[in-house]
Amino acid sequence: MKKLFSIVPRWLPALVLMIVIFLVSSRPGDGLPNFHDWDYFVKKGGHAVGYGLLALSYLHALPKRNYVLAWLLAVLYSATDEFHQSFVPGRHPSATDVLVFDNLGALITLLIHYWKYGRQAGN
Predicted TM-score (pTM) of the model is: 0.91
Evaluate whether 74 touches 106 at the Cβ level (below 8 Å): yes
Compute the distance between CA of residue 16 and CA of residue 24 in angstroms, rounded to an integer.
12
Evaluate whether 50 touches 79 at the Cβ level (below 8 Å): no
Going by C-beta distance under 8 Å and a sequence separation of 6 or more, which residues neighbour residue 79? 98
Residue 33 falls within a domain, yes or no? Answer: no
3-class secondary-structure state, position 35: coil
Residue 60 falls within a domain, yes or no? Answer: yes
The predicted structure's pLDDT at residue 122: 59
Split at pLDDT 50, 70, 90, the class of 2 is low
Percent of the chain beyond pLDDT 70? Answer: 93
Residue 110 falls within a domain, yes or no? Answer: yes
Residue 107 falls within a domain, yes or no? Answer: yes
Split at pLDDT 50, 70, 90, the class of 6 is confident
Cα–Cα distances in Å, from 81 out to 2, 89, 96, 115? 32, 14, 13, 29
Q: Shortest CA distance to 108 belongs to which of 116, 17, 63?
A: 116
Q: How confident is the prediction for the chain on average, in pLDDT? A: 93
pLDDT in tens, 86-102: 999 999 999 999 999 99
pLDDT in tens, 11-48: 999 999 999 999 999 999 999 999 999 999 999 999 99
Evaluate whether 44 touches 99 at the Cβ level (below 8 Å): no
Residue 21 CB neighbours (<10 A)? 21
Residue 55 falls within a domain, yes or no? Answer: yes
The predicted structure's pLDDT at residue 63: 85
Count the domains in the chain.
1
> Domain range for residue 67?
2-27+38-118
Residue 54 falls within a domain, yes or no? Answer: yes
Q: Shortest CA distance to 74 belongs to which of 92, 38, 48, 43?
A: 48
The predicted structure's pLDDT at residue 8: 83
